[in-house]
Amino acid sequence: MPVSVDMLQIPDWSDLGGFLPETVMFGAFLLALLGDLVVRRRPVVPFAVVMAGALTALAPSFAGLDAPERTILGGLVVVDGMAAFFRILFSLIAVATLLVSWASEEIMGRTRENKGEYYALIALMTGGMMVMAEARDLLMLYLSLELVSLSSYVMAGYMRNSLRATEASLKYVIFGAVSSGVMLYGLSLLYGLTGSLTYVGVRDALAAGAGDPLSLLTVCVLLLAGLGYKIAMVPFHFWAPDVYEGAPTPVSAFFSVGPKAAGFALMIRFFYTTMQPAVDRVDWRLLIAVLSVATMTFGNLVAVRQVNVKRLLAYSSIAHAGYLLMGFLMLTAEGLQAILFYLLIYALMNLGAFLFVVALNNSLKSEHLDDYAGLGFRSPWAAAMMVVFLFSLTGLPPTAGFIGKFYLFAAVMHEGWYWLAIVGVLNSVVSLFYYMKIARTMYFTKAPADAPAVPIAPLHYVTLVLLAAPTLFLGLYWGGLKDLADRAVQHFTAL
Amino acid sequence: MADHLLSWMTFAPVIGAAVIAGLPGRYKDLTKWIAAAATAVPLLLAVQLFLQFDRATAGMQFTEHYTWIKSFNIEYFLGVDGLSVPMVLLTALLSFLCIIASWRIEKAVKGYFSLFLLLEAGMMGVFCALDFFLFYVFWEVMLLPMYFLIGIWGGPRKEYAAIKFFLYTLAGSVLMLLAMIAFYYNVKDPVTGGHTFNMLHMMDQANHGGILDLANVRFAIWMGLFIGFAIKVPVFPFHTWLPDAHVEAPTAVSVILAGVLLKMGTYGLLRISYPMLPDQAVGFMVPMAILGAINILYGAFCAMAQTDMKKLVAYSSVSHMGYVLLGMSAMNEVGINGAVLQMFNHGTITAMMFLCVGVIYDRAHHRDINGFGGLGLQLPVYTSVFSFALFAAVGLPGLSGFVSEAMVFIGAFPTHRTITIVSALGIVVGAAYVLWMLQRVFLGEKNAKYDSLPEISARELFTLVPIGIIVLVLGVYPMPVLDLMKVSLNHLIKVVAG
């Protein structure tokens, strides 16, 4: 087996300059753990450390948006505009998750233990997700994925006295272990076919004709098992509703946006770089198109029947993975821009919707739809913001969700996948029904006379506004964000 | 204000809604006055528009043109021509009167009036937008307030009606979204050479290229747009949301729904489908005429079978919108002018009818046609107003409905002889259901239960009389509205039918 030259690259210290945001996040993780050890029972220390880390990581990320591609750390990691975009996205998601968690009873309730570790894990996962978006080597692909997965198992089981959370965590572990095992097998096959671990090496080998259609199809399917599980794609989605329902709501919020976006980043870089030359032998675009239709249709249809809001949002997040996959298989700059654009907006609106659930859970101690009756009048401002998130998730103007979907559909139409676009828009209509189910309960159903008051923590109010305002504003003027997404892919060489 | 007349008309209600949203909920009267002011502004500007509009040109007037999203060539482009001006006037008038008609709303006043103002903004925007993207945004923006207005302030089955309305309309508009994207990628901006959402560029066949050169693609796009608009009109068999929505919606919302929202469907056909796909429009003449005839007759027969006044009026809308379709399918000047005039006239007449039903419902708390009787003796003023509206709906000569229906028939007869003759039966059935209702509610034995029913109030009359005057004037002399639109419409029909 020939040893490729870039495997022999020795990492040098200057590489760390390009790896700054991750270094900061991993540093924040260690500091938070250490801080938690030194100052016991003061979760504010790890909270502040991680918050500072996430905010610090933003500056170098913005600076890297226009940077050309640069390989570092011995060729394991690539830094470019797209990596910078995802770093920004993950930092913002981390900030929002921190704010959501800090005022949540589920996380900060008096009986909870290990609050410090919880915040440390957010830092670790954020760093891991950033690496996922930068991996350009099969080894790094697997390592970063596992880093994120392992920390998620712990986070899902954070409420260790709760039966539901423990069950969720266990399910997650088992499902995750199987998926990554399957994927590892796929990776080993791919290595066997091409003799290289780097994306570039794999690509060149595939372009030179390595691999027959059947084995390449096997590789694709096996890899999609591992990656599909991360983005909750049908048929690897089974864990999602249970985990989202069982895990503490702030954690579900985090899972539904962070690892999903990271999974997409990983998929984009892997498939666009390595599998593009193999498109003539294995039509993985069609495979993903079918999976995309299955994912959105299944997610939407099952969501219609849900009465638990967390579970409903879980199925909705499955459906959204389906929409995103449409853009993914276009293999065009337009599709890629649409995905990045949508991921950021999706993070805003989905975190917002989950935050509403978190904020109410503090006083309602329930996520059942029936307990939301009359919230439109019991808590008018928060409910109004929830309506903004729901409309945005449906994809109705004048919210950002519409613009995001518009770009996705435009990319799909431009490539001539008309049937896919039609399935996509009809799915949006189905989704309207269940999103409006929440709005209907909040506004059209009268609250029972003994309905408890629903005070909302001030920090939650602030965070709701911080998420709702851009959701609305980006629906009216999104030029700046679109430019950001366009800049992020301008140097993406795999297109 | 003069420079940005259309923007002010569109966004004055939004400003009003924002002010109301910021106002503490206890200032109920102030809220209503702000809402009235916020709708009075567009009404006054509409008067200015009416006076200043140049009737001699077919081009767009009062245009406002700005870049919105540069990277995707999305523009903020407003303008009006003879097709949109009557609709803008109708919207401004009905919105203002509906605020007055809603004066006795007591439940969640703040929410009601701010949503109503957002609704007006959406409607104005649709009639003024000349950028397809902008048009679509306004088109969809209306759904949100409508959903909540029906769902919160509606009748017993409001939840069902609200979501049905929402799902139907959204299903139609997503098809329009795809059609819009297809246009975007295949129409070239003649100046820059890039893609464009500019509707005026889309109307020029010379700019079409790519897949728009394929006949079956054009047909698919036409059908996508047609279904989208047909759901709004509503054209049989997409009409089933309408009776539900009307019955459950509060009075003022029904007025807007029938008076303005239904017109958006036919407006969309004339603004977008006809000029952008003229070949398909001509090819679809006969199906359109048949659908029009079905609407006329089916709507009328359904109306005859109703015992709920509101449902009767709702089905009469289905019937009357059929005339619009028939006139549009004629592909000649008389027919299309008649169709647009019928859009305007139906807006005023049906608004009167819904307002009248609202008046009696506020007093008797039911709308059962068989539950009244002899109201003519008890409420003479109300009876005369309602009868006036009903006769206008029948198409009595001297009232505005007659003029437009006659024009539709005169226009359609040479093009679709048999269909027109069959449709004309609709007039007879129309007279039947209206007169039958008139007889059961106002004539006959006086119902002792309603001996103390109070007469129509001054506020209620204030909402009805202005519309009544318009109906009467246009019945005798329709030129004020015909003059507004005929140059643009004649130009349109020349472009479409050659």
Q: Does the distance separating the beta carbons of B170 and A429 come in below 8 Å?
A: yes
Dihedral sign for Cα atoms in the order A81, A85, A86, A88: positive
Cα-trace Rg, chain A: 22
Q: Does the distance separating the beta carbons of B174 and A425 come in below 8 Å?
A: yes
Any domain includes A191 = no
**Tens digits of per-residue pLDDT, B285-297?**
999 999 999 999 9
- Closest residue of chain B to A421, computed from CA coordinates: B178
**First and final CA of chain B: distance in angstroms?**
39
Q: Which of B140, B144, B159 sits opposite A440 (nearest CB)?
A: B159
- Closest residue of chain A to B141, computed from CA coordinates: A397
Dihedral sign for Cα atoms in the order A98, A103, A105, A111: positive
**Tens digits of per-residue pLDDT, B74-92?**
999 999 999 999 999 999 9
Q: Does the distance separating the beta carbons of A397 and B136 come in below 8 Å?
A: yes
> How distant is the Cα of B306 from the closest Cα of chain A, in angstroms?
27
**Tens digits of per-residue pLDDT, B275-287?**
999 999 999 999 9
Cα–Cα distance between A292 and A96 in angstroms, integer? Answer: 28
pLDDT for res B59: 87
B71 touches chain A (CB under 8 A): yes
Q: What percentage of chain B has pLDDT greater than the value 70? A: 100
pLDDT for res A290: 94
Cα–Cα distance between B216 and B146 in angstroms, integer? Answer: 35
Number of domains within chain A: 1
Any domain includes A40 = no
HEC string for chain B? CCCCHHHHHHHHHHHHHHHHHHCCCCCHHHHHHHHHHHHHHHHHHHHHHHHHCCCCCCCCEEEEEEEEEHHHCEEEEEEECCCHHHHHHHHHHHHHHHHHHCCCCCCCHHHHHHHHHHHHHHHHHHHHECEHHHHHHHHHHCHHHHHHHHHHHCCCCHHHHHHHHHHHHHHHHHHHHHHHHHHHHHEECCCCCCECCEHHHHHCHHHECHHHHCHHHHHHHHHHHHHHHHHHCCCCCCCCHHHHHHHHCCHHHHHHHHHHHHHHHHHHHHHHHHHHCHHHHHHCHHHHHHHHHHHHHHHHHHHHCCCEHHHHHHHHHHHHHHHHHHHHHCCCHHHHHHHHHHHHHHHHHHHHHHHHHHHHHHHHCCCEHHHCCCHHHHCHHHHHHHHHHHHHHHCCCCCHHHHHHHHHHHHHHHHCHHHHHHHHHHHHHHHHHHHHHHHHHHCCCCCHHHCCCCCCCHHHHHHHHHHHHHHHHHHHCCHHHHHHHHHHHHHHHHHHHC
Any domain includes A83 = no
B70 touches chain A (CB under 8 A): yes
B23 touches chain A (CB under 8 A): no
Find chain A residues with C-beta within 8 A of B148's C-beta.
Answer: 443
- Closest residue of chain B to A405, computed from CA coordinates: B177
Q: Is the pLDDT at A12 greater than 80, yes or no?
A: no
Q: Is the pLDDT at A63 greater than 90, yes or no?
A: no
Find chain B residues with C-beta within 8 A of A486's C-beta.
Answer: 71
pLDDT for res B336: 93
pLDDT confidence tier of residue B1, bands split at 50, 70 and 90: low
Whole-structure pTM over 0.90, yes or no? yes
B162 touches chain A (CB under 8 A): yes
Q: For A59-81, what is the mean pLDDT?
A: 86
Q: Is the pLDDT at A70 greater than 90, yes or no?
A: no
Q: For B232-258, what is the mean pLDDT?
A: 90
Any domain includes A44 = no
Q: Where are the alpha helices (DSSP H) in A7-137?
A: 15-18, 20-38, 44-63, 81-102, 105-108, 115-132
Find chain A residues with C-beta within 8 A of B167's C-beta.
Answer: 429, 432-433
- For chain B, the structural domain boundaries read 286-498
Instruction: Answer yes or no: are the C-beta atoms of B312 and B342 closer than 8 Å.
Output: no
Q: Which of B108, B158, B178 sits opposite A422 (nearest CB)?
A: B178
Q: What percentage of chain A has pLDDT greater than the value 90? A: 62
Q: Does the distance separating the beta carbons of A444 and B152 come in below 8 Å?
A: yes
Instruction: Answer yes or no: are the C-beta atoms of B231 and B271 closer than 8 Å.
Output: no
State the best of B112, B147, B173, B211 to mutate against chain A, taking most chain A CBs within 10 Å: B147
Q: Which of A396, A428, A440 sits opposite B144 (nearest CB)?
A: A396
**Tens digits of per-residue pLDDT, A130-189?**
999 999 999 999 999 999 999 999 999 888 888 888 888 999 999 999 999 999 999 999
Cα–Cα distance between B338 and B349 in angstroms, integer? Answer: 15
Cα–Cα distance between B233 and B397 in angstroms, integer? Answer: 26
> How distant is the Cα of B136 from the closest Cα of chain A, in angstroms?
8
For residue A83, the SS3 value is: helix
Find chain B residues with C-beta within 8 A of A369's C-beta.
Answer: none
**Averaged pLDDT of chain B:** 90
Q: Does the distance separating the beta carbons of A422 and B140 come in below 8 Å?
A: no
Any domain includes A133 = no
- Closest residue of chain A to B162, computed from CA coordinates: A440
B435: left (phi over 0), alpha (psi -120 to 50) or beta: alpha
Instruction: Answer yes or no: are the C-beta atoms of A258 and A90 closer than 8 Å.
Output: yes
> In terms of pLDDT, which residue wins out, B474 or A67?
B474
- Closest residue of chain B to A485, computed from CA coordinates: B71
Q: Is the pLDDT at A13 greater than 80, yes or no?
A: no
Q: What percentage of chain B has pLDDT greater than the value 90? A: 60
Q: Does the distance separating the beta carbons of A396 and B143 come in below 8 Å?
A: yes
Find chain A residues with C-beta within 8 A of B147's C-beta.
Answer: 436, 439
**Tens digits of per-residue pLDDT, B306-365?**
988 899 999 999 999 999 999 999 989 999 999 999 999 999 999 999 999 998 888 888
State the best of A326, A432, A473, A490 to mutate against chain B, taking most chain B CBs within 10 Å: A432
pLDDT for res A8: 53
Q: For A369-385, what is the mean pLDDT?
A: 90
Range of the domain at A400: 287-495
B422 touches chain A (CB under 8 A): no
**Tens digits of per-residue pLDDT, B92-106?**
999 999 999 888 888
**Tens digits of per-residue pLDDT, A235-268?**
889 899 999 998 999 999 999 999 999 999 999 9
Cα torsion through B154, B160, B161, B164, rounded to 10 = 150
> How distant is the Cα of A109 from the closest Cα of chain B, in angstroms?
34
Q: Among the listed ranges A61-75, A179-193, A206-220, B253-267, which one has the minimum average pLDDT value?
A: A61-75
Instruction: Answer yes or no: are the C-beta atoms of B475 and B400 closer than 8 Å.
Output: yes
Find chain A residues with C-beta within 8 A of B159's C-beta.
Answer: 440, 444
pLDDT for res A164: 86
Q: Does the distance separating the beta carbons of B163 and A391 come in below 8 Å?
A: no
For residue A77, the SS3 value is: strand
Q: Among the listed ranges A1-5, A27-31, B109-113, B261-265, which one has the minimum average pLDDT value?
A: A1-5
Q: Among the listed ranges A68-72, A181-185, A465-469, B14-18, which one has the minimum average pLDDT value?
A: A68-72
Residue whose pair of structure tokens reads 């005839």 in the numeric block: B293
B377 touches chain A (CB under 8 A): no
Q: For B272-277, what is the mean pLDDT?
A: 92
Q: Which of B68, B108, B166 sits opposite A432 (nearest CB)?
A: B166
Find chain B residues with C-beta within 8 A of A444's C-beta.
Answer: 151-152, 158-159, 162
pLDDT for res A1: 46
Find chain A residues with C-beta within 8 A of B158's C-beta.
Answer: 444
pLDDT for res B367: 87
Q: Is the pLDDT at B455 greater than 90, yes or no?
A: no
**Averaged pLDDT of chain A:** 90
**Tens digits of per-residue pLDDT, B397-410?**
889 989 999 999 99
> In terms of pLDDT, which residue wins out, B374 or A185?
A185
**Tens digits of per-residue pLDDT, A314-373?**
999 999 999 999 999 998 989 999 999 999 999 999 999 999 999 998 888 888 999 999
Q: Which of B69, B141, B171 sits opposite A429 (nearest CB)?
A: B171
ipTM for the whole complex: 0.92
pLDDT confidence tier of residue A59, bands split at 50, 70 and 90: confident
